[in-house]
Structure 1
Amino acid sequence: MISKNERIFYENLQLPLVLFDQSKGKLHAELISDGLCNVGTKDRETFLNQLNHDLYHQVHPADKLWLKHDIANFLSKMNDLDVVYRNKIHNGEGYRMVHLIGKWQPMNDGSEMVCFTYYDMMDPAGKLGKLFSNTVDEEDNALFRDTLTGLHNVMYFRQFADERLQLLLSCEKQPVLIYININSLHDYNSQYGYSRGDDLLRLYASLIKEYFPDAMIARAVDDQFVLIDEFSTKTLILDNIKTINHHVQKTAYGKPLGIRVGICIVRPNMTAAKAVDYARIALKNIGDDLSTICNFYSQKQDEQYKKRRYILEHFNEAMEQDWIQPFYHGIVRTTTHKFAIFESLARWIDPVYGTISPAEFIPILSHFHLLHELDFYMVEHICRDLHLAHQARFPLSQISINFSAQDFDHADVVYELNTILQRYNIPKDFIIVEITEQDIARATDHFHMQLEMLREEGYELWLDDFGSDYSSLSVFSQFTFDRIKFDMKLIHNLDEHNQANRRILRLIVNLCKELGIHTLAEGVETQEQLQFLQDIDCELVQGYLFHKPCDITTLLNDYHNCTDAYFESNKK
């Protein structure tokens, strides 16, 4: 418990902090200092209510998951909390960089409270800078030193980085900001212990000082460093990073995974905080490419980053405003050349960016585990379109819908599908569930069980993208599918490597016949491809040779203009 005198003391502090109680297993903000109220321009009661309602409400969506993870580890006393994240600017657009430090604070009654101290990295000379102006007169003050590595800390960087940039520019030198991340330090700590992890950090710190001797270097957060140096060549930076990684791999304990860096060549009038943001974007854009260790920020990357952020921040609005719509791609029977089934595809028609490709928004939604929201939104709209088609006397056709393995992790797919179909009085055999071979390759027992339940409920189950990078014949013995969709890579490369794909497709079609599995080939664009698929008795085909995806209105117009020629009259 906080005593009356303790409350007065902490609330009067100019240091921007919050004290949380965790005695009931959940963080509850108990008090906020005057310093944080002044920085946040909010009264104490409003601030407390916001923190207790949602601690992460203003945090950038891309930072929420890892920040929650780091705070959870801190609360379980697995490690310290010293992180930099992006927080939404109060009453404004965009985000600011915030440095958060967590400590366990002993109280007079012997209990411990959680103390979070917040520093605004984009206002180094503002309110927070004034806090230290009477006590810090030189760069080497102990307040600015990282006790583990001996490097300057992030407070030092925040205070003096802009000065260093201006000094380099005034000497007609080109500044460069390099943001360094140690790959998988958390995993290294888990495997070898925190003492070994500290040794690794000290080794990296000494090597960074050795290979960037004239740079201003600071430890940014627990596994990241930031430095400002004079730019010479990209090759020199890359060689230095490679040398550091090689040295660590030879001398460090265990098997560290090295460092990767994002680099921003600083332009005039660019602040250090903005350069950090750009360097972090460059670092993030390396992604899972293990062969790349350096990435230089470019204007194109900034545009891509802004678009990714726009997609994430406007996803809910896109569903509410129906910017995301089902488009329908016809599937043709090879014996009749008539449309038998339609595949539904998500299309995002945006008021700002125009058409946003699924290749852009699907990976983002997948990364943030939002695909289940998109997929069930699509089911709802498809059922509306089927109802509309029935009213327009369109012969109700089966619709195949792409589902992700994430759907099965976040929802009861069988229940959700049944509920939506019942709402629109749509029979179950009109909906086909498509699962990619990539997802099947990673299937869990829970995933497998739900797939079996879907078939028991009367839904057709298709295997999508067969013949892509994950192909394995073992899929036939592990799951029961009604139809296999051959990936377009097999169709587009029929004659390469001594016509290997022709032989493979012929064998797989014959195997499917023996197993009672129907077949479909996607990506058909030429008469030659169609003729081959007819020759091997592939039952259905799909591709631009016949049809391009379109919305329900266009599809209904096409039907009324050419019923007998292109559409089967009954569902098959």
Structure 2
Amino acid sequence: MNDRSLRLYALISGFKSVKTYKSKIMLIAFIGTHIPLLSMLVYVVFSHSLTLATTINLLAIALIATLLGTIATLFALHYLLAPVKLTSQALQHYLEQQKLPNLPTHFNDEVGTLMADTNRTIKQLDRLIRYTTNYNNLTGLPNQDLFQNLLQQTLAQANNNQQIGVIIVHLSSIKDINSILGRKISNLLQKKIALRLANRIKKIDILAHLSEDEFGIIKKNFKSFDELNFFTQEVIELLNKPFSLFGKEINTNPKLGITVYPFDGITAEQLLQNANTALYQIRQEEHQNCQFYSIKNNTKLQRRLAIKDQLRYALRRGELFLHYQPRLDLTNNYPVGVEALLRWQNPQLGLVPPTEFIPIAEQSKLIVSIGEWVLRSACIQQQIWQQEGLPALRISVNLSVNQFKQSNLIKRIDEILAETNFNPNYLELEVTESLFVENFEQTIRLLKQLKHRGINLSLDDFGTGYSSLSYLQQFPIDTLKIDRSFLFDIPSNTDNTSVTKGIIALAQSLNLHITAEGVENSAQLEYLKAQGCHEVQGYYFSKPLSAYNLTSFLSSYYRQLEETAS
């Protein structure tokens, strides 16, 4: 558009008193209609041929005619400008109130075309905005907001006997695929997942694409929980089938959280929250795929979340502490070491069992900083015991899988040993079999570096994990620890007796030291001693004790041994 055509408009806009477009038109019309009157006035003033009476009559007629013409012109312009005003108001109402216009579309001139085009454009724009607001732009499925609105509508239409299932499908591999294989393959995979699900669900049901790695399903009119469960298993089987993309077979690892109206909630918010609660629970399980919501599980989840929240501050607040369980040499019944066991006392949660908070610490990676604190504290405590006159004891500390994944693991252990002036010959690091599942060669290399420093290495909970004999022969370990589960009811339990005997024989054949944990009675002790077990620990001798109580226990124990010997 040529800006010259706007010069007059810009000039008139410079007058502050002329604010609206209508007033600008009226001004021009007023000037235009008064030009003849002004011309006549000039003629009369400078003409000497007219009589005074004629001049007055002529001016009166001209003035009346001009005024009437001006009024008529302004009145007509007022209505002729109505389409422009209505178009402007329609745009303003849509911008401020999202109100769709209803302008006439049957006029053919320029202003009529303007109204029709504005009407059509706003409605097209509104459809586009509503689509992008309510639908996933990748798959075209309803998004999370629309899914919740559709669920609300479904619940409003449901009768008293109708059951409605809400299913949240999480595909845990999507983000990894996006990071490793790229956005293009990830987007194509999401489209294929949407198509596969859409082909499976009924027309009355609702499928939505909630986020990059989550889909939602509203399952209507199912007759029983068995029917809903059968449907969810079909969804799992459907998504467990690999997707073929660019010559690659891709698995999605589906997890489903399920909630049912009216049993688990009567509002859309309740049902979605509970479905996500069930999904959160099942995502913690490695070998399961779906979870129905239950109040019992929700209580467990709330506690888990509370533990996770409080655990972040436990180290800073000084809520963590260590207990120590003594380990005895069966050849002379002398304490030769202690295992450092982590404990947590929280002002809100009380004494939290290690079985509850340690897995959460592992999952949240807090175990790395906590593990370093445990190692440092145990080393310092061993030095204190020696200063108090107790014999040097081997300190056993657990090393987590996440700690082992740290690139600076060896450096951090060296720094802690240097800070505490600790002799590495008195340190035993316990690792589990799961450590060797990933990156076996790297794990062996790190363990050899630790062993080279004089640190003892122990394989904890042997027999409960993944080890094979061929792997075990390559482990640079010193000690094999028999898990407490294998000591249950021995020697009367023939299965556990056979397993324990086999583990001891295996360790002996590999020239490894053997430690049994969880010894609770004399029958277990005598059997282990007869089989050639070297060291034991358990409640038969002592429960885990605080550093102060362990000092008293060891002092008393050594005195009893001396008295017995004398």
**TM-based fold match above 0.5:** yes
Q: Residues of 2 paired with 1:538 and 1:407: CA distance?
A: 30
Give the match for residue 555 of structure 1: 550
Identity of aligned residues (%): 24
Task: Report how far residue 328 of structure 1 moved.
Answer: 0.7
Change in CA separation of 1:313 and 1:186 when aligned onto 2, cut-off 3 Å: closer
Letter matched to residue 218 of structure 1: A
Equivalent in the alignment of 2:272: 276
Q: 1:246 to 1:349 in 2, by over 3 A?
A: closer
3-state SS of 1:286 partner: helix
Deviations 1:493-533 (A, max 9, x none): 65434953254145224314xx3x32211222232221121
Distance change (3 Å), C-alpha of 1:134 and 1:300: farther
User: How do 1:419-568 and structure 2 match up within 5 A?
Assistant: 419-492=415-488, 495-497=493-495, 499-512=497-510, 515=511, 517-565=512-560
1:204 counterpart letter in structure 2: L
Unaligned segments of structure 1, at least 5 residues: 1-129
Residue 243, structure 1, aligned to residue 234, structure 2? yes
Matched residue SS, 1:180: strand
Which structure 2 segments of 5+ residues have no match? 1-94, 101-122
Where 1:377 maps in the other structure, the secondary structure is helix
Question: Using the alignment, how far apart are the partners of 1:546 and 1:313 within structure 2?
Answer: 36
Structure 2 equivalent of residue 262 of structure 1: 257
Give the AA of the match of 2:228.
Answer: I
Kept in 2, the 8 Å contact 1:400–1:432? The answer is yes
Q: Following TM superposition, by how much is the alpha carbon of 1:231 offset from its aligned partner in structure 2, in angstroms?
A: 6.6
Letter in 2 for 1:335: T
- Report deviation, 1:330: 1.3
Residue equivalent to 1:204: 197
1:24-43 residue pairs with structure 2 within 5 A? none
Deviation of the 1:374 alpha carbon: 1.3
Q: Which has the larger radius of gyration?
A: 2
Q: State the one-letter code of the partner of 2:199.
A: S
For residues 395 and 472 of structure 1, the distance between their equivalents in structure 2, rounded to whole angstroms, comes to 37
User: Which residue in the other structure is 2:105 paired with?
Assistant: none
Q: What letter is aligned with 2:532?
A: D
Distance of 1:248 and 1:423 partners within structure 2: 53
What is the CA distance between 1:376 and its match in structure 2? 0.4
Distance change >3 Å, CA 391–CA 300, structure 1 → 2:
farther
- State the match for 1:225 in structure 2: 215
Supply the distance in 2 between the matched residues of 1:140 and 1:561 (Cα, whole angstroms). Answer: 80
Tell me which of 365, 369, 378 is aligned to 1:369.
365
- Tell me if the contact between 1:151 and 1:219 (Cα under 8 Å) persists in the aligned partners: yes
Give, in angstroms, the shift of residue 402 of structure 1: 0.6
* Superposition TM-score, scaled by structure 2 size: 0.67
Map of 1:78 onto structure 2:
none
Is the Cα contact below 8 Å between 1:238 and 1:294 reproduced in 2?
no
Q: May I ask how many residue pairs the two structures share in their alignment?
A: 432
Aligned-residue offset at 1:482 = 2.1
Query: Greater strand percent: which structure?
Result: 1
Q: Which is further off, 559-568 or 150-159?
A: 559-568
Per-residue CA deviation, residues 383-415 of structure 1 (Å, 9 max, x unaligned), is 332243234333331110011232232253333
- Aligned-partner residue type, residue 410 of structure 1: Q
Secondary structure class of the residue paired with 1:461? strand
Of residues 155-164 and 543-552 in structure 1, the stretch that sits farther from structure 2 once superposed is 155-164
CA RMSD, 1 decimal: 3.6
Alpha-carbon distance in 2 for matches of 1:328, 1:367: 25
Q: Which residue of the partner structure matches residue 143 of structure 2?
A: 153
The aligned runs of 1:98-497 (5 Å cut-off) are: 134=99, 142-143=131-132, 144-168=134-158, 173=162, 175-182=164-171, 184-185=173-174, 190=181, 193=185, 194-195=187-188, 197-208=190-201, 210=202, 213-228=203-218, 229=220, 232-246=223-237, 259-266=254-261, 271-287=267-283, 292-492=288-488, 495-497=493-495
Q: Which has the higher contact order (CA 8 A, sep 6+)?
A: 1
Q: Do the aligned partners of residues 373 and 196 (structure 1) sit closer, same or farther apart at CA in structure 2, a change above 3 Å counting?
A: closer
Instruction: Kindly indicate whether the alpha-carbon contact (under 8 Å) linking 1:348 and 1:357 is maintained by their aligned counterparts in 2.
Output: yes
Counterpart-to-counterpart distance in 2, 1:196 and 1:423: 52
| Structure 2: distance between partners of 1:537 and 1:251 | 51
Helix, strand or coil: the match of 2:398?
Answer: strand
Return closer, same or farther for 1:508/1:199 CA change in 2, 3 Å cut-off: closer
Give distance in 2, aligned partners of 1:224 and 1:567: 68
Q: TM-score normalised to the size of structure 1? A: 0.66
- Whether the 8 Å contact between 2:165 and 2:228 is mirrored in structure 1 is no
